[in-house]
Amino acid sequence: MQSLQGKTILITRSKKRAEHLLHHYTSQGAKIIHIPLVETKAPSDHFASLDSALKHLHDYDCLLFTSQTAVEAFFTRPSAPSAEELSCRVFAVGPQTKAFLEKLGVQDIEMGTVSSSEGLLQHLKQFDLEGKRILFPRAKDGSDVLIDGVKRKGGNIIFVEAYQTEFPKDFNKEAFLKLLQGDDVDYIHFSSPSAVNHFCAVVKGQAWNEHHIQFFTLGETTKEALQQTPFAHLLKN
């Protein structure tokens, strides 16, 4: 990778999850501007569907996690099992989600060779999913790739809302656009499809210095989300 010494990177990840990224880039000599584009909040049903699923967790064969936020929401509910009590197979979308599960004591976590929903689906397709009950806690507006793919393989996948994403309450659109219209930012880092979607909503119809800025992404799922936008050409390899 080209040296980041003296470069300015705009980090869009939530305050709660950004510490590792901030250290990663500052250790390479980069300057950091941290403006979160995503904030998580409780699900629209106030955890009713997740709590109900947790009470019947013994009825499920598999458990799918596609984000650290979903893992946290799952294991912090009052009726959540301990890691040792989990009897179903656990699948993670990628190494960061897997590592987060391992920190909680969960073992024997499976994942695909590609860190995306599609990659995890390809891994799941190796198994006989016919009639299997699969619990999938995720964001309210998450991707349906896994849901549709598992259903086509005969699996009974149950999606439960674990959290919602929204713009941070203190987000200042005018100040954000003013920053992008100057030459101060060299790179923007996106950690989730939600951050990509929020960015696109902010800059839609607005003039900004896209000829100067390149994008980094965390994980294949976020990369794929960015590739579906008009700004795919800004993605740095």
- The percent of residues above 70 in pLDDT, for the chain, comes to 99
Q: Do domains 8-38+168-234 and 41-164 have the same CATH topology?
A: yes
Query: Which band of pLDDT confidence, cut at 50, 70 and 90, is reported for residue 1?
Result: low
Q: What is the mean pLDDT of residues 210-225?
A: 91
Q: Encode pLDDT of 10-60 as tens digits.
A: 999 988 888 888 999 999 999 999 999 999 999 999 999 999 999 999 999
Q: Encode pLDDT of 141-174 as tens digits.
A: 888 999 999 999 999 999 999 999 999 999 999 9
| pLDDT above 90: residue 219 | no
Round to whole Å and give the CA distance between 81 and 141. Answer: 26
Check residue 15 and give its pLDDT. Answer: 85
Find the helix or strand (DSSP H, E) in which 111 lies.
strand 109-111
**Extents of the domains making up the chain:** 8-38+168-234, 41-164
CATH number at 41-164:
3.40.50.10090
**Dihedral over Cα of 89, 93, 94, 99: its sign:** negative
For the chain, the average pLDDT equals: 94
Instruction: State the architecture of 8-38+168-234 in CATH terms.
Output: 3-Layer(aba) Sandwich (3.40)
| pLDDT above 80: residue 126 | yes
CB 33 within 8 A of CB 175: no
Q: Encode pLDDT of 97-118 as tens digits.
A: 999 999 999 999 999 999 899 9
